[in-house]
Amino acid sequence: MYKKSINAFSEAKKFIPGGVNSPVRAFKSVDSTPVFFEKGKGSKMIDIDKNEYIDCVSSWGPLIFGHANETIINSIIETSKNGTTYGASTEIETLIAKKIVDLVPSVEKVRMVNSGTEATMSAIRLARGYTNKEKIIKFSGNYHGHGDSFLIKAGSGAVTLGLPDSPGVTKNIAKDTLIANFNNIESVEKLFNDNSKNIAAVIVEPIAGNMGLVKPQKTFLQELRNLCNKFKSVLIFDEVMTGFRVAAGGAQELYGVHPDLTTLGKIIGGGLPVGAYGGKEEIMNLLAPEGPVYQAGTLSGNPLAMSAGLTVLNLLENKVYEKLEYISKKIEDGWNENIIETKTKAHIARVGSMMTLFFSDKSQINNYNDALELNTKQYAKYFKSMLNMGVYLPPSQYECLFLSTAIDENDIDHLIKSNKKALEELKWVVYF
């Protein structure tokens, strides 16, 4: 069933570290061999062995309209006819910047970069330049890309592989990164009180998506806003995942809390590499060439990504979120029924089209410590069962599902039936 993928992985390992260019793709946490893909269309992906899957990952979020959407593909093709990059300014950069400013409540100016990691690294530098302070606060289990400052008690692939701290991160960098507990405002208050004059920024995933989906508790985000105001620190929302995914204006629109800076990525590239950071004009104007904080990028704002991203943002205006909510809720309800019927120790967390099925005795996951208690062995067995039934899920318990508008009623039906069968198989494997 996966013969060609097994051979492809073996060949890849000869030339690529671990055989992959991003660790979670190695399927290590699900004790399996990665699948190699050759094609995607709509809600489906096809691997090199010609197996077909309903895609519930959407390239980790960007493909909100599914694979090979004709409108988006055509925009890339038409733009490419005039060239791929110029290393100079184009009008389309202004058009997408204006669109982002129009949609995201707190953003007054925006700078394009090439990845979410670039966006978060640049936002931190800008916050330090603005405040003339050095330390940042991040949260255990929040993942903000692979910048040195962030690989301390990180989520995503770091926790998946059991590597919350990475060799190569120096002690001097680590000492400037203070760790708080997500959904625990007291832990943040203590760090502020102990370092009251030297905290440049608090960076947070407003909806955590890298230890599975973890929602912010009712007042958590507003209390972060209040603390940053009190201590004159910059509040950064990492909305690389949630931006344009949970709402047109991201999590900040959903919860009504506005940060000083916002990092974006994924959806705004239409499936091409992209990142962005934006916020208050007063802060953004410190960036070179207007100000002294330096940041640059050869391919930043390249025409292909800008064209694809602008097309996506324009398409988002057509009742997309209503459709995504319908699809996502129907899957959630069906899976919940399956959990009850099979008496599985599991529950679902969902915000919009982001969702995680947690294998846990707990009824809710609130933070990193809760996440570390998840039954990853059960998830691995569940993942393989679903894969064999033609459903592609995140190859890690600590990652979110990202659903697309391309999922239709037949897909939903298959997802619910496959989920029930996988849970039944899991129960047999685990208990008998």
Per-residue pLDDT reduced to its tens digit, 50-103: 999 999 999 999 999 999 999 999 999 999 999 999 999 999 999 999 999 999
Catalytic residue (choose from 266, 381, 384, 420): 266
Cα–Cα distances in angstroms (integers) from residue 123 to residues 61, 134, 294, in the given order: 21, 13, 11
Does 413 participate in catalysis according to the annotation? no
pLDDT at 166: 67
pLDDT at 174: 78
- Give the separation between CA 52 and CA 35, rounded to whole angstroms: 11
Residue 402 structure tokens: 């990202």
Residue 283 structure tokens: 């802060």
β 261-265/52-55 pair status: unpaired
70-315 has which CATH code?
Answer: 3.40.640.10
Q: DSSP class of residue 47?
A: E
* Architecture of the domain whose range is 3-64+319-431: Alpha-Beta Complex (3.90)
- Give the separation between CA 403 and CA 55, rounded to whole angstroms: 8
Give just the sign of the alpha carbon dihedral 14, 18, 21, 25.
positive
Catalytic residue (choose from 238, 260, 370, 411): 238
pLDDT at 53: 98
- Give the separation between CA 120 and CA 407, rounded to whole angstroms: 31
CA nearest to 310, candidates 271, 250, 270: 270
- Give the separation between CA 56 and CA 403, rounded to whole angstroms: 5
pLDDT at 317: 78
Q: To the nearest 5 percent, what fractions of the chain are helix, strand and coil?
A: 45, 15, 40
> Are the beta carbons of 221 and 235 closer than 8 angstroms?
no
pLDDT at 158: 47
Cα–Cα distances in angstroms (integers) from residue 338 to residues 226, 297, 422, in the given order: 42, 48, 10
- Give the separation between CA 68 and CA 65, rounded to whole angstroms: 9
Residues in Cβ contact with 340 at an 8 Å cutoff, skipping those fewer than 6 apart: none
pLDDT at 159: 45
Does 266 participate in catalysis according to the annotation? yes
CA nearest to 177, candidates 185, 165, 186: 165
- Give the separation between CA 262 and CA 283, rounded to whole angstroms: 12
Catalytic residue (choose from 130, 143, 321, 398): 143
Does 343 participate in catalysis according to the annotation? no
Question: Do the domains at 3-64+319-431 and 70-315 have one common CATH topology?
Answer: no
pLDDT at 161: 40
- Give the separation between CA 393 and CA 56, rounded to whole angstroms: 5
Residues in Cβ contact with 234 at an 8 Å cutoff, skipping those fewer than 6 apart: 127, 130, 131, 200, 201, 202, 228, 260, 261, 283
pLDDT, mean of each 10-residue run, the chain (432 residues): 95 96 92 96 98 98 98 98 95 98 97 96 97 96 84 52 61 85 97 94 97 96 98 98 97 98 97 97 98 95 97 91 98 98 97 98 94 95 97 96 98 98 81 41
List residues bridging with 152 in a β-sheet. Answer: 165
Look at the block and give the residue holding tokens 């701290």: 165
Q: What backbone torsions phi and psi does residue 121 show, to the nearest 5 degrees?
A: -60, -45
**Tally of helices (H runs) and strands (E runs) in the chain:** 15, 14
The verdict on whether omega for the bond into residue 62 sits within 30 degrees of 0, i.e. cis, is no
Beta strands in 208-353 (DSSP E): 234-238, 261-265, 275-279, 346-351
What angle is formed at CA 402 by the lines to CA 109 and CA 30, rounded to 5 degrees? 125
| Domain ranges across the chain | 3-64+319-431, 70-315
- Give the separation between CA 372 and CA 158, rounded to whole angstroms: 12
pTM for the model stands at 0.94
First to last CA, the chain: 27
Cα–Cα distances in angstroms (integers) from residue 280 to residues 94, 111, 206, 275, in the given order: 17, 12, 18, 18
Give just the sign of the alpha carbon dihedral 186, 235, 324, 374.
negative
- Give the separation between CA 349 and CA 235, rounded to whole angstroms: 25
